[in-house]
Amino acid sequence: MDIVILGLPMMYYIAMVAKVLVAFVFVLLTVAYSTYAERKIIGHMQVRLGPMRTGWHGLLQPIADGVKLFFKEEIVPAQASTFAFLIAPLIALIPAFITFAVIPFGGVIEVAGYKIPLQIASYVDVASGKVYDINVGVLYILAMSSLGVYGIVLAGWASNSKYSLMGGLRASAQMISYELAAGLAIVSVFMLSGTLSMNEIVKLQSGFGGFEWYVFKQPVAFVVFFICAIAEINRTPFDLPEAETELVSGFCTEYSSMKYAMFFMAEYANMITVCALTTTLFLGGWNGPLATSIPLLGPVYFVAKVYFLIFFCMWLRATVPRYRYDQLMHIGWKVFIPLGLLNIVVTGIWNFILQ
């Protein structure tokens, strides 16, 4: 006899814990080896070899870096606000991980007679077989991703350093500027799909050999959203909050050991989140050839798309120089926001004509 808790069989709770562990391990491993991949990719693009000495072709380099940072001395500046200084890395890191709760990384698989959706915050109704998830998943991701900047601002203020404070102020201004444009780009996706559910948005992009993907229907929104998302997570060429040439290391100048590593992890975890969200909204999510008939192909397609976008972020770092701060603000307010508004108007007119 099945054990039922709060109206759901025990198997669903076991599956949820398993999905959380799989997603957490996937993000951690991707974060660790994204650092290695970035150093190797940029090295080859600059006619260098990158890490070579630790393990075969440097494959153990991320582990060596992690061990080194773990055993380094913990330093807290004498004039720093100690509690805020210590809590800031956690505030930056945790939202980067919990956003994966609503991202569907596959279809529905069957385990021991139960249908399990490959999405953490979801379940399948036993009677109807319908998948239920958070129906405002995109808003959840935007809310959680916005919390990360509080950790950066708090780190800049609590360090009691002019360089750190300047980096924190830059991060807050940059987040406000580019989140507006990214939100406007997502609105056009809502106008086409009529839903905020991540699972439903993926379903609406299935069929016609990938031509139902919103990247083909909303190319302007795709470009605006992806560039603004890169700016929001402070990746090159928009890494003004930690510009080492002028601010030493920006908001994390006074940090060392694992606290510094947590900011580093947060940056890469946010990059993975942005790429996963872009894949879900514009690239069909886990959709691909035979993905519906062979459920395990869905996660393979999803991971391949996410890794391609991560590679593109690394490619940008190797080829595009950093913007000046006035250029950063100019592009955000005078280019992307008007472009996002214009795209919404055009999408509305097109929908009206079709209807």
Domain, as residue range, for 216: 78-354
- Domain-located, residue 5: no
Nearest to 307 by CA among 58, 27, 18, 59: 27
Specify if 101 maps to a domain: yes
Residue 1 has pLDDT above 50, yes or no: no
Match 């603004």 to its residue by tokens: 228
60 lies in some domain:
no
Element (H, E) at 116: strand 114-117
Confidence of residue 5 (pLDDT cuts 50, 70, 90): low
pLDDT at 69: 84
Helices (H) and strands (E) in the chain, counts: 13, 6
pLDDT digits (tens, 9 = 90+) for 91-106: 888 888 888 888 988 8
Q: pLDDT (tens digit, 9 = 90+) per residue, 277-295?
A: 999 999 988 888 877 778 7
In eight-state DSSP terms, residue 77 is: -
> Is 31 a member of any domain?
no
Cα–Cα distances in angstroms (integers) from residue 304 to residues 44, 257, 276, 294, 317, in the given order: 21, 33, 10, 16, 20
Whether 64 maps to a domain, the answer reads no
Note whether residue 149 is domain-resident.
yes
Does residue 295 sit within a domain? Answer: yes
Please give the structure tokens belonging to residue 134. 């958070």
The token pair that represents 18 in the structure block: 């398993």
Tell whether 34 is covered by a domain. no
Confidence of residue 74 (pLDDT cuts 50, 70, 90): confident
pLDDT in tens, 161-188: 888 888 888 888 888 888 889 989 999 9
Structural domains of the chain, count: 1
* Range 78-92 average pLDDT: 85
